[in-house]
Amino acid sequence: MNLHLSDDGGGPRHYLDGRAINCGTQLLLKVNPKNTSQESWVWARYEASLHRGDVYFVLYTTFGVVSPDDTTVLRWPTEEER
C-alpha cells in the first residue's frame, strides 16, 4: 500500500505522495488484468472513517467496492486525466 497514515493534529489522515486525501477524492487504482503483463488504472473514490484507534476506508470503483490491502497501489490523476 502506498498510502501513508499520519495524525495531522486533528486526527488520523491518509496521505498519498505527501498530499492529504479527503473523503470523496477521486484517485486511480492500479489493476492487473489476468493473463497479461499490461498495467491498467481505474477510477476509485476514496471514502474513510478515521478515528483514533479505528481506521477504516474503502475505494468505490465501477466494478464494485474495494477493501484495500498491502498490495493496493493508488496514484493521483494527471492533468490530462481529469
In the chain, DSSP assigns E strands to 4-7, 12-16, 19-20, 26-31, 40-51, 54-61, 64-66, 74-75
CA geometry: angle 57, 60, 62, nearest 5 deg:
160
- Which amino acid is it at 81? E
Distance of alpha carbon 55 from alpha carbon 42, whole angstroms: 24
| Model pTM score | 0.85
Does the pLDDT of residue 3 top 80, yes or no? yes
Per residue in 32-50, pLDDT (tens digit) is: 766 667 789 999 999 999 8
Q: What is the pLDDT of residues 54-76, one digit of tens each?
A: 788 999 999 999 999 888 999 99
User: For residue 11, what is its C-alpha cell?
Assistant: 486526527
